[in-house]
Amino acid sequence: MEITTRPELTGTFGMVATSHWLASGVGMAILEGGGNAFDAVVAAAFTLQVVEPQQNGPGGDLPVIFSRAGDPTPAVLCGQGPAPAGATLDHFRALGLDLVPGAGPLAAAVPGATPALLTLLRDHGTRHLRDVLGPAADYARSGFPATANMVETVTSVAELFRDHWPTSAAVYLPGGRPPVPGGRFGNPALAATYERLLAEAEAAGPGRENEIDAALRAWSHGFVAEAVDAFAALPWRDSSGEPHAGVLTGEDMAGWEPSYEEPATLEFRGHTVCKPGPWSQGPVLLQQLALLADADLRPGTVGYAHTVIEGAKLAFADREAWYGDSAEVPLGELLAAPYTASRRQLIGETASTLLRPGSPGGRVPRLPGLGHGPGVAADGSTGEPTLAHGLRLPDAVTAPGAVGGDTVHAAVADRWGNLVAAMPSGGWLHSSPIIPELGFPLGTRLQMTWLQEGLASSLVPGRRPRTTLSPSLVLRDGEPVLAFGSPGGDQQDQWQLLFLLNHLVGGMNLQAAVDAPTFHSTHFPASFYPRDARPGQIVAETSLGEEVLRELERRGHEVVRAPAWSLSRMCAVGRDPATGFLRAAADPRGGHAYAAGR
């Protein structure tokens, strides 16, 4: 019998797993009221915008991966907005910048999270907008218990808010002080935004689709776009330490809408693993699985940890050289068996400190600012790597106070066979000043682009910044059986890999697979400002075992010991087509995530 921190939930009616217990409760209430998985995931995601504002917001980004009852074909909804028309390399260079700032309006892409949720609800849901947006509006208006993590984030940027971002201070420093952990906190301006979306939707006349289309117009063409257009043009202090105005306009918002696409897929040990395409980092999970396909995988052992980490280094090196939306991505060749076999030969008995992208189809890899060709160190040299330690997620500002952002996740399975995984992020409370008429800030996803021409991830107007957001879906014999994801930036597809291997290879149930000790590599350049790296480094929970950690060090890894239960924030739901059972699990780490179901 597996001993787990929580039971693996099992039932037949419906399952919801999200990164905050209130969102899981809201999602389950939607299922209980007759809604389907799409209704529930949208309601949960809107609630997450309110109760985890340090993790995501209405102005952020969102990929969704799903499979529908009666049509198991997996699909991806892209809610990652592109770079604005004014976000040119010449504009940033004229400002004297060599990196896109990690905070402030200059780093804003077209906000895609809220339009994507509305689109998903319209196309695949069954409920009216008030049913799914009402709970979030109520929490924003009447308040919710502030988490310690939210309070810690606000406290860390309180000086910035007081001195430079007064519109944020007005919301997050009530009475001039940060909220109290566990205290009631609300955002009336955000509640008013939700309520105006509802009012404009319901004024459009009868019909669910009419309502939702009206809300989409109000967002992309109406009062939201107008407020964004006026506010983004104002100069605000950002991560460069200087004030800069943004380039996002209402016209940019009006000219974009979410889109559907086929996922990237890989067959792995009797399962089809599905991810968003290479405008995300999603295929890096598939590349890691391909490298490990024939390996002797025994979770918890030294050989397992070493092989997984060395495979991650190779896959993420390819991410740096080949993934993005601004140039051709040879994804088929990156996932092809001959290419994978040649890459697998690079995994040796000791740790590598080189950043080694491959040459699919004979192409010469190009690394952003790091030199060219395979076998360069992560600082571009051929000697000892020199880049700074980089465990951070996105910085708010360099001074006063830098703070990381993160992500949320929602996964839902319903009794009809729908399976959905959504990964909202961006638009953090500390990412950019609050737009006072709206109650939320813009996102900063452009920090993931490079101010260098000719890269797959170069900053190009109209192109999507390569995002770390990466939900997952798994099929068996053509039937969807698993939807999952974890917040964590560059770590998302390392932690998700461990969970999947624990479950598919190690035979663990969902909760045991979530609970198992976790580790990841920080070897490659980070996706977030200031793009740091730490070649050869592993961050591992001490629960992996001191004997394993010491042997990894003997093999040449630099091991950073993280406290047990400190890495990963997995959420997962599953279904067994043969029995009809639905399952769910959520990570005890962080103290927020919860699963609900029956």
Cis peptide before 530 (omega within 30 of 0): yes
**Among 446, 464, 406, which residue's Cα sits nearest to residue 99?**
446
CB 567 within 8 A of CB 518: yes
SS3 74: strand
Q: What string of DSSP letters covers 562-591?
A: EPTT-S---EEEEE-TTT--EEEEE--TTS
Instruction: Specify the pairing of strand 184-185 against strand 235-237.
Output: unpaired
The total of other beta-carbon atoms located within 10 Å of residue 553's CB is 13
Q: Which amino acid is at 203?
A: A
pLDDT in tens, the chain (598 residues): 678 999 999 999 999 999 999 999 999 999 999 999 999 999 999 999 999 999 999 999 999 999 999 999 999 999 999 999 999 999 999 999 999 999 999 999 999 999 999 999 999 999 999 999 999 999 999 999 999 999 999 999 999 999 999 999 999 999 999 999 999 999 999 999 999 999 999 999 889 999 999 999 999 999 999 999 999 999 999 999 999 999 999 999 999 999 999 999 999 999 999 999 999 999 999 999 999 999 999 999 999 999 999 999 999 999 999 999 999 999 999 999 999 999 999 999 999 999 999 999 999 999 987 543 334 433 333 222 222 222 233 333 333 333 455 899 999 999 999 999 999 999 999 999 999 999 999 999 999 999 999 999 999 999 999 999 999 999 999 999 999 999 999 999 999 999 999 999 999 999 999 999 999 999 999 999 888 899 999 999 999 999 999 999 999 999 999 999 999 999 999 999 999 999 999 999 999 999 999 9
pTM equals: 0.94
- The beta strand positions in 360-451, using DSSP E, are 366-367, 371-372, 376-377, 410-414, 419-422
Q: Which amino acid is at 35?
A: G
Reading the block at residue 30, the tokens are 């939607």
Reading the block at residue 533, the tokens are 């790296």
DSSP state of 61: B
With residue 597 as reference, give the H or E element that holds it: strand 594-597
CB 314 within 8 A of CB 290: no
Q: Is 181 left (phi over 0), alpha (psi -120 to 50) or beta?
A: beta
Could you give the C-alpha distances from 523 to 30, 103, 300, 389, in angstroms and in order?
Answer: 42, 24, 21, 10
CB-based burial label for 416 (10 Å; 0-12, 13-18, 19+) = exposed
How far apart are the C-alpha atoms of 239 and 246, rounded to whole Å?
A: 13
The partner residues of 264 in beta bridges, in order of sequence, read 275
Cis peptide before 577 (omega within 30 of 0): no
CB-based burial label for 93 (10 Å; 0-12, 13-18, 19+) = exposed
How distant is the alpha carbon of residue 411 from its chain centre? 13
**Among 423, 486, 596, 479, which residue's Cα sits nearest to residue 68?**
479
